Amino acid sequence: MESSTNHDLDAIREVVNQVLDYYEGDEHGQRSRARAEILIHSMAVFAQRGLERTTVQHLLDAANISRRTFYKYFRNKLDVLENIYRIFVENMLLRFQQQVQRSRTISEIIRNTTDIYFDYHVSMGPVIRLMMEEARHSGSALAPHREKAQELATNVLASEVERLLGRKFDPLVIRTILWSLESYSLYLLSDGHCTEEEVARCKRVMTGVAMAVVTGESSDELLGQR
């Protein structure tokens, strides 16, 4: 159990440091490391307790830091969650853009980005569900990050569709596909749904829906065929 926990923490640390290094350049001082450690250890707390039942003291205990150190970097617990969400969104966008650049056809873009999206969300588990649900509230501090990410992903996909197929979609069509991905992810992360079979099913159906919308062709994925 302890080995699994350490493995999960190492995976989270890798994601956090990758994004912070990419967006914050060469800032590797004590201040930057302390901030990263607060974010890393807070994820497990939010995942286990939820937003409402989490207090700043819980975050202090998890990261083993003083209250004074905490308030050097964050205003409150929601500020921590907002920064965690931003990191996950930016990491997801980095993976998304890399995959689009490597794909040569619309079919490859749809299949590969769908796989990346679901695999990434499932690997991070409860904390992703918590942040996604919070970000869907219009008044939340997380909402602008969700909007920015969807706008960027929409622009990238619309540009690739036009380049590869010569078709120009209303951006709302692309948004609808992204909203469906988000809803499927929340479904998978709800209790009892995140099995290998159900993940594979969601990937298959979502790929089929996106292919049908973008290419105008029916797909075997929608009929449960591979």
> Distance between CA atoms of 140 and 194, rounded to whole angstroms?
27
Shortest CA distance to 71 belongs to which of 82, 85, 60? 60
Position 31 scores a pLDDT of 45
Position 223 scores a pLDDT of 57
Position 23 scores a pLDDT of 54
pLDDT at 5 over 50: no
pTM of the model: 0.81
Please write the tens of the pLDDT for every residue from 125-181. 788 889 999 999 999 999 999 999 999 999 999 999 999 999 899 999 999 999 999
Residue 110: partners with Cβ closer than 8 Å, 6 or more residues away: 207, 210, 211, 214
